[in-house]
Amino acid sequence: MASADSNAVPLVIASVNEVSGDDWTGISDQKRRKQLQNRLNQRAYSSEASLNEKWFHRILTVPIMRNAVIIGTCMDIELLTGRRYSSTISKAVVELSREVRKLVSQLSIETYSDISSERQRSRPNNLTVSQRRVSAVAFAAPAYVDDDLIFAVMHLVKASTIGLLSDGVQLDIIAGTFGLFTPPMFLQRLQGLHLWGRSCPYQAQGKVPDAQATQHLVALEHLVSLKGGLRKIKAPGFAAALHQFDVIHCAKRLNPPKFELPERSVRLSKHVEWLRHSCPRRVGLCGLENTPRGLSLLESLEDLHILCCWITSVLDRENQHVSAGSQGVIFPSMPSTEDLTTLRTLIEHRLLSFVPDPDDRFELLAHTAAMIFMHGVVFPLPNRSPMQMLIQRLVDGFQDLQLHLRELEEQRFLLWVLMMGAMATSDAEAERLFFVERLAVLIGQVGISSWEDLKTVLSGYLWVDWGCDAGAKAVWRMMFQA
């Protein structure tokens, strides 16, 4: 997991087209190169046009879709501008709820016949009538559930996450949300306002999610289960949106995702697996590759390194800058926003699903540090709560750990883990001193005497200059002050 420098980028980007059969790198015939380039552009355009036509037609002709889109659009504008659209949202919510009740009432009564009486007794009594009907079918056989119904309930989750009459808050990131990490703005916005919803500023202030939103979320999970999972979703692009919606909600609380991977994520994971095996293995993390569980985690971290290479290539292009290490290299194509989002959500899904062995200290530390890197740099959620949970988890992992008794490889790994912990903290959090003091002791034992030496060690693990260097230099200065 070496630092994602530009030297690794050309291989990664070129491979995206190789797997589709339209790779034009290495072809000297200009006419043939142009044909392949045009084919890729036409395919992308026709796919986007077809998708837009289908969704636009549904929005115009289906009331439940129209009201759901009105809700989502108004919430996005609220977050971007701070203006209030409560009356419009309230009216759309009332209409949408009426349509949802109508569709739920049309679900086949036969799907409820096999639910045990025990499950009926254990169901909460404070659910609405429609939610009781939906929750009763969590383990029933797949049934016909219209995609429009699931789309509508997803928007009810967002609309009820925060009270409609609360004060408007713009999508401004609170200082210290990402600790000392410096994620670029385009990564902060890749979550998608339409998926994050109003919970973003509300939960960043430390308030609990609304109970009604939780109930709607339970109903959404049961509807997808009743339908037979994301693989049964037919609306173009909707399965991927549901998956990202689920991952974002679970990331806020570090819970395992509820939905399986959609088809696009599965396809991309195969492409990334090919990339992973075509490159030499990066630095192993203290024997993780020696066990099946550790190997699974290590593969996720290697995929995270590939994602960082993609992001670095985008930033280089945005800044109209190519590093000295890749001078003269032709970039055949840039990774699309959809590819970046899909791979990032896929990795987050896998990391959230991974449960470290409580008896394996280094597996726990590696997983926690990787999650901190993910949420601080690559998947920068505008929500401080999950980062604070990860910091506490890391502090607990270092309790009673004798740093001076470790071998050199383990000490270098612990340097990176401690740096992740220090950079995750905000200026007001006491845990920063915990990590800085241990870093100061450990760099002396390893024999590091300069920032350049420390950077060399850190770059052997998950690291990107644009997201980590500034914060790490600040921690380096703190060590001498401590």
Q: How far is CA 346 from CA 284, 304, 341, in A?
A: 22, 10, 8
Is residue 25's pLDDT more than 90?
no
Mean pLDDT of 110-134: 38
Is 404 a member of any domain? no
Provide the mean pLDDT of the chain.
74
Q: Which residue has the higher pLDDT, 416 or 62?
A: 416
Separation of alpha carbons 457 and 480, rounded Å: 19
Read off the pLDDT of residues 141-166 as tens digits, 9 standing for 90 and up: 456 788 888 888 888 887 776 443 33
Read off the pLDDT of residues 292-309 as tens digits, 9 standing for 90 and up: 676 788 889 889 989 998
Mean pLDDT of 217-236: 85
Mean pLDDT of 12-16: 40
Q: Quick one: 146 exposed, middle or buried, by C-beta within 10 A (0-12, 13-18, 19+)?
A: middle
Is 344 a member of any domain? no
Domain that holds residue 195: 62-228
Separation of alpha carbons 296 and 1, rounded Å: 14
How many structural domains are present in the chain? 1
Is residue 88's pLDDT more than 80?
yes
Separation of alpha carbons 65 and 153, rounded Å: 11
Mean pLDDT of 76-83: 67
Separation of alpha carbons 357 and 361, rounded Å: 8
Is residue 169's pLDDT more than 90?
no
Is residue 136's pLDDT more than 60?
no
Specify the range with the lowest mean pLDDT, choosing from 3-12, 84-93, 261-270: 3-12
pTM over 0.85: no
Would you tell me how many other CB atoms lie within 10 Å of the CB of residue 335?
Answer: 20
Are the C-beta atoms of residues 137 and 143 closer than 8 Å to each other? yes
Specify the range with the lowest mean pLDDT, choosing from 158-162, 186-190, 313-317, 408-412: 158-162
Is 122 a member of any domain? yes
Q: How far is CA 68 from CA 52, 65, 93, 270, in A?
A: 16, 5, 8, 34
Is residue 16's pLDDT more than 90?
no
Q: Which residue has the higher pLDDT, 29 or 361?
A: 361
pLDDT at res. 261: 93
pLDDT at res. 322: 44
Read off the pLDDT of residues 196-211 as tens digits, 9 standing for 90 and up: 444 333 333 444 445 6
pLDDT at res. 174: 65
| DSSP symbol at 109 | G
Read off the pLDDT of residues 338-384 as tens digits, 9 standing for 90 and up: 888 899 999 999 999 999 888 888 889 999 999 999 999 999 887 78
For 419, the 3-state DSSP assignment is: helix
Separation of alpha carbons 347 and 307, rounded Å: 9
Mean pLDDT of 457-478: 94
What sign does the dihedral 309-315-320-321 (CA atoms) show?
negative
Is residue 7's pLDDT more than 90?
no
Is residue 214's pLDDT more than 60?
yes
Is 419 a member of any domain? no
For 194, the 3-state DSSP assignment is: helix
pLDDT at res. 4: 59
Q: Left, alpha or beta for 176 (phi > 0: left; psi -120 to 50: alpha)?
A: left
**Over pLDDT 70: what percentage of the chain?**
65
Separation of alpha carbons 98 and 101, rounded Å: 5
Read off the pLDDT of residues 98-112 as tens digits, 9 standing for 90 and up: 888 888 877 754 343
Is 102 a member of any domain? yes
**Which residues, at least 6 apart from 229, have a Cβ–Cβ distance to it below 8 Å?**
142, 259, 260
Amino acid at residue number 176: G
Are the C-beta atoms of residues 23 and 14 closer than 8 Å to each other? yes
Is 214 a member of any domain? yes
Is residue 50's pLDDT more than 70?
no
Q: Which residue has the higher pLDDT, 195 or 443?
A: 443
Is 118 a member of any domain? yes
Is 369 a member of any domain? no
What sign does the dihedral 332-325-319-377 (CA atoms) show?
positive
Extract the runs of DSSP E, i.e. beta strands, from 227-352.
none
Residue whose token pair is 């096999």: 114
| DSSP symbol at 146 | -
pLDDT band at 279, cuts 50/70/90?
A: low
